[in-house]
Amino acid sequence: MSISNGPQLNDEPRISPSAQAPAATRKATGTSRSGLIFAIASYLIWGFLPLFFLALAPAGAFEVVAWRIVFSLVFCALLLAVTRKFKSFFRLMARPRISLTMAVAGVLIYVNWQTYVYSTLSGQVVEASLGYFINPIVTVFLGVFFLRERLRLAQWIAVGASLVAVVVLAVSAGSVPWIALTLAFSFGLYGYIKKRVGNTVDAVAGLTMETLWLLPIAIVQLVIVGMTAGLTIGTISGWHTTLLLAAGVVTAVPLLFFAAASRRLPLIYMGFIQYLGPIIQFFVGVLILHEPMSPERWAGFSLVWLALLILTVDGFVGARRNRRAVLELI
Identity at 92, one-letter amino acid code: L
Tell me the residue range of the domain where 286 lies: 36-329
Q: Is residue 261 part of a domain?
A: yes
68: nearest Cα among 83, 52, 82: 52
Residue 39 sits at the vertex; the CA angle it makes with 87 and 126, to the nearest 5 degrees, is 110
Asked if residue 58 has a cis previous peptide bond (ω within 30° of 0), the answer is yes
Query: What's the total number of domains in the chain?
Result: 1
Note down pLDDT in tens along the chain; length 330 residues.
Answer: 444 444 444 444 454 544 454 554 555 555 677 888 988 999 999 999 999 999 999 999 999 999 999 999 999 999 999 988 898 899 989 999 999 999 999 999 999 999 999 999 999 999 999 999 998 888 887 877 777 777 788 888 888 888 898 888 888 878 889 999 999 999 889 888 887 776 788 888 889 999 999 999 999 999 999 999 899 999 999 999 999 999 999 999 998 888 888 777 776 677 778 888 999 999 999 999 999 999 989 999 999 999 888 888 887 777 677 666 656 666
pTM for the model stands at: 0.83
Q: Is residue 13 part of a domain?
A: no
Q: Is residue 57 part of a domain?
A: yes
Q: Is residue 3 part of a domain?
A: no
Q: Is residue 73 part of a domain?
A: yes
Inter-residue contact 303 to 162 (CB < 8 Å): yes
Q: Is residue 19 part of a domain?
A: no
Q: Please provide residue 147's backbone torsions phi and psi, each rounded to the nearest 5 degrees.
A: -105, 0
Q: Is residue 173 part of a domain?
A: yes
Q: Is residue 11 part of a domain?
A: no
261: nearest Cα among 278, 274, 279: 274
169: nearest Cα among 181, 178, 161, 177: 177
